[in-house]
Chains A and B, each alone.
Chain A
Amino acid sequence: MIERILQANPRLANWLYGYTPPERGTVILVHRRVYIVPTRLGLMFAATLAVLLIGSINYSLSLGFALTFLLAGLGLAGMVHTARNLARIAVSAGRAEPVFAGESAQFRLYLDGRGAFDRPSILARHAASGAQLVVDVPAGGAAEVVLPVPAARRGWLALGRVMLETRFPLGLFRAWSYLEPEARCLVYPRPERSPLPPYTGEAAAGVLHAPTPGSDDFAGLRGYQRSDSPRHVAWKAVARSDKLLTKQFAGDAAAELWLDARLLPAGLDLEARLSRMAGWVLAADRAGAHYGLRLPGVELLPSRGDTHRAACLQALALVQPA
């Protein structure tokens, strides 16, 4: 219920969590953002102390008092140490590689301890998905956390709220803090396996046939270019000479394949269309084709290689619904 109230009142949420999303750059968890409450174990510890105190009074045990009070001091020191384990930690988000819808986006967070002491047992938990990981931040160093967040829909997936929590050193207190580093991951449409569209006469210029899937007839080798997919590198040839060579296939040389939204059958909704087109991009890339992408308002000229493939998929991912 509290969640719902906070969702309806973002300003209240911002005040409560101590930040205004999204947070650019490195987020430093200042003390005000670190919350702390006793754990269930902490309450049991308190109950234990109460019994020890009563016993000490009843039997007039001076050392019993000393023990009880030292333990109470330990609880107090433990509270400060628990908060310290989290406070002033610097969190920055790393790059998240694009994924397809239905997969998990791998968000990277770097927790920098920024101090001469280590910060063991810090839990990072993604609020929305529940993805979580416990890391030890070494003294004077940083720890990497990879949070696998399910990517359901295409487009930009923002990381959203992350909670950091720790119970170190005594487990009597639980300190936590919320943060929302600016990190996003591109989610491509879920690719649908389907045959490539037939060659259309439109891209004419001397092209007589379009390659069909599977017709990867080996045609020869050429020098490697940076945009070539590693899948097409002729590794056997590389082993013989020490030059990188790329395999060329029969279709490559001549065909220019246009992946055009207009080729799709009518009646498909937008997401289904984008899924099929993503499938085409993958198939064309696998086939080593020279392909272009045409969407309403977007046109990517035919090319090949990983960069081109990524550009095509990004264009598909970011199509705005009409």
Chain B
Amino acid sequence: MTPLPHPLAPEQRAASVRDLSWLIAALVLVIAPHAMRAPWWLTLLTLCLYGWRMYFALNRAPLPSRWLVLGVTVVAMLGVWIEFRTLFGRQPGILLLMLFSGLKLLETRSHRDAAMTAFLGYFLVITNFLYTQTIPTALAMGAALYLITATLIGFSAPQRAPRANLRTAALLLAHAAPAGLALFLLFPRVHGPLWGLPQDAYAAMTGLSDTMSPGNIASLAQSDAIAFRAEFQGSSPPSAQRYWRGPVLWDFDGRTWSVGPAFMVEFNEPRGGRARYRYEVVLEPHNRHWLFALETAASLPERSRMSFDGQILASGPVRARMRYELSSVIAPEPQVTENPGTLRRALRLPQGFNPRASALAAQWRAASGDDAEVLARAIAFLRQGGFVYTLEPPLLGTHAVDEFLFTTKQGFCENFAGSFAFLMRAAGIPARVVTGYQGGDLNSVDSIVTVRQSDAHAWVEAFVSGRGWVRIDPTAAAVPGRVEAGLARAVPQTSALPLMMRPELEWLRAVRDRWEAMAHKWNVWVLGYNPDRQRDLMSSIGFRDADWRTLTATLFTFLGAMTLVLLAWSLRRLSRPDPVQRAWRAFCRKLARRGLERAPNEGPRDYATRAARALPAARRGILRIGALYIGLRYGRHASAAGVARLRRMVRELRLT
């Protein structure tokens, strides 16, 4: 006999209108965040494909032919190619996946196809995380996951009320959560990536670059995005001392300052200093090697090195949120010697640029007795020069330094720093430009300093004989408010500032502080959970130096226990007899203690009669219990009051 088609096999069950509605609702929720990034036509096309499938389902029409679907596929892929000139990057790949969800729906006939489309939905969920992993994204995708789960349940129980399926989905997810959490915490983590990623994988990451030309930092400073957060142990230094050192720029070609070649040195801990701070930094990914440290670093984070000019470099580009600990010291004992080659490099200038500035510097040098005097003259020049600090400086020509210093006199920190370093070198003082961040908001809720891209800054370090490298912030000299009060106060009101930096929105900042304190916890504990945190966790529960074997063993122990708990739960309600039965059993036990065991084949009526005859003193009670039990168990109307009465009567039955 040929076996009949299996009625539970998903390939045998046609996807109904109800199944498809659920599936499409879940998919729409999943692609909603992508719609904000995708070209409008692609979102529209995907939604049209969903609608088209619903149309077929509602009209019970046969699905379109394979060729038509193939045609749509080719046209859509062509559109993606025209938009991106490639099909293989991250962004086009994700958009194609979104499109395929619609195309797959058009081929969805059975529950099996529908389930595969739901699995495709899981991929779409995870692609959302490539762009953002914030709490709102997590909540939205959690909702999508819930909907997909309910959809899958609907495939298994097509006759069941949707509300019951939603309830089962919630129960399943609740049961899945402990195992999911255990896996999250204990699954042996490795540092990614496993292989090369597409070119545009990190395109969205912002931050300082290894060059500085006019306009670079000014455009960065208009972003509210967070660069990193720092949590100090104990007090934090005042805002004016929070110079977060980043890339150091040595080479100037007349227009652009760049990092140039660098070499690593052995780390020497600085001695002395006014104050020491220990802190932990959670750095947002910026796809570069450098880490930021309050000057001057007194220790190095794990797996990092220091370059000859004091930059701290990670072993690879920071492509995931990274957490590191270090300490810094303010104003340590100066190191008064420097490699002569390095000093020569710090004096090099391109020929034929900025004649007026060069002349001014030469004049200062001639009039001054030593380096310190030159410095003082330069700072005085900036302070009295009537310079204006603006996010939108006028465009500058070939002799950018000359134009800024003598003509336009409007600039952003990069203009000030670049020009000052030029003046120093022209005056024969070795100088370099340092970029990084200055200040940062101290959150009033959790005392964490949040540093944003809008805090990006550039300053100068000059090598003064006898004092070593000295930090000079020409912006602070020219526009003192910048460092004291932050960008918001320093820039005239007319300039376009990020919304949150406007002083009149103080209350909004309070709300933001609270939200960001929460987001920080999220970043540290959820998004920043990495192999290091995993080791910390294991050692906190008593496993020192846990390797993957310990982790796996712990994980499986937990998962096994979890499964047993779930199994016990699944049997819980079944092994408990109902209250009527429990009361009856208690009654039987009571009689059995008096030597009146119920025979297995003895019905309640016979048993009660026999017991009543044997114990005439309790006759009335026994017979009433027997009658009540029969009424409750086999009768038509079992009331809660009746059950309570039976229990009370059994409890109060005295057989002595």
A: residues with CB less than 8 A from B are 31, 39, 41, 44-45, 48, 51-52, 54-81, 83-84, 87-88, 114-118, 120-121, 123, 129-130, 132, 134, 136, 165-171, 174
Interface-forming stretch among B75-83, B152-160, B275-283? B152-160
Interface residue B510 (Cβ < 8 Å from any Cβ of A): no
Contact mask B510-530 → A, CB, 8 Å, 1/0?
A: 000000000000000011111
Contacts of A51 in B (CB 8 A): 123
Q: Are A78 and B172 in contact (CB under 8 A)?
A: yes
Q: Are B172 and A74 in contact (CB under 8 A)?
A: yes
Given contacts A60-B319, A71-B145, A170-B149, 16 further A-B contacts (CB under 8 A): A57-B189, A58-B193, A61-B126, A64-B129, A67-B122, A67-B125, A70-B177, A73-B178, A76-B176, A76-B179, A81-B570, A83-B567, A117-B573, A120-B160, A166-B8, A171-B152
Q: Are B133 and A63 in contact (CB under 8 A)?
A: yes
Specify the chain A residue showing the minimal Cβ separation from B128. A63
The residue that B126 contacts in the complex, of A39, A45, A55, A168, with Cβ under 8 A, is A55
Interface residue B195 (Cβ < 8 Å from any Cβ of A): yes
Contact mask B546-564 → A, CB, 8 Å, 1/0?
A: 0000000000000100110
Beyond A70-B180, A76-B563, whether A123 also contacts B8 by CB under 8 A is yes
**In the docked arrangement, what's the CA distance between A252 and B126, Å?**
84
B: residues with CB less than 8 A from A are 1, 3-4, 6-8, 10, 111-112, 115-116, 119, 122-123, 125-126, 129-130, 133, 137-138, 141, 145, 149, 152-153, 155-157, 159-160, 164, 168, 171-173, 175-181, 183-184, 187, 189-195, 197, 201, 319-321, 526-530, 559, 562-563, 566-567, 570-571, 573-575
CB of A2, distance to nearest CB on chain B (Å): 15
Contacts of B529 in A (CB 8 A): 62, 65
Where chain A touches its partner, the secondary structure class is helix
Specify the chain B residue showing the minimal Cβ separation from A113. B574
**In the docked arrangement, what's the CA distance between A65 and B526, Å?**
10
Instruction: Identify 29 residue pairs between A and B in the complex whose beta-carbon atoms are under 8 Å apart, listed by A's number.
Output: A31-B571, A48-B123, A59-B193, A60-B530, A62-B529, A63-B133, A67-B145, A73-B175, A74-B172, A75-B176, A76-B176, A76-B563, A76-B566, A77-B176, A77-B179, A80-B566, A80-B570, A88-B575, A118-B164, A120-B157, A121-B156, A130-B1, A130-B4, A134-B8, A166-B8, A169-B156, A171-B10, A171-B155, A171-B156
Counting chain B CB atoms within 10 Å of each CB, the highest count among A58, A66, A134, A168 belongs to A66
Q: Are B149 and A61 in contact (CB under 8 A)?
A: no
CB of A55, distance to nearest CB on chain B (Å): 6
CB of A289, distance to nearest CB on chain B (Å): 41
| The 5 nearest A-B residue pairs measured at CB | A73-B176, A73-B179, A69-B183, A60-B320, A73-B180
The residue that A58 contacts in the complex, of B153, B194, B566, B570, with Cβ under 8 A, is B194
Contacts of B575 in A (CB 8 A): 88
Q: Are A123 and B122 in contact (CB under 8 A)?
A: no
CB of A30, distance to nearest CB on chain B (Å): 10
CB of A197, distance to nearest CB on chain B (Å): 39
**In the docked arrangement, what's the CA distance between A63 and B153, Å?**
24
Counting chain A CB atoms within 10 Å of each CB, the highest count among B1, B160, B172, B189 belongs to B172
**In the docked arrangement, what's the CA distance between A169 and B125, Å?**
22
Q: Are A48 and B573 in contact (CB under 8 A)?
A: no
**In the docked arrangement, what's the CA distance between A96 and B6, Å?**
25
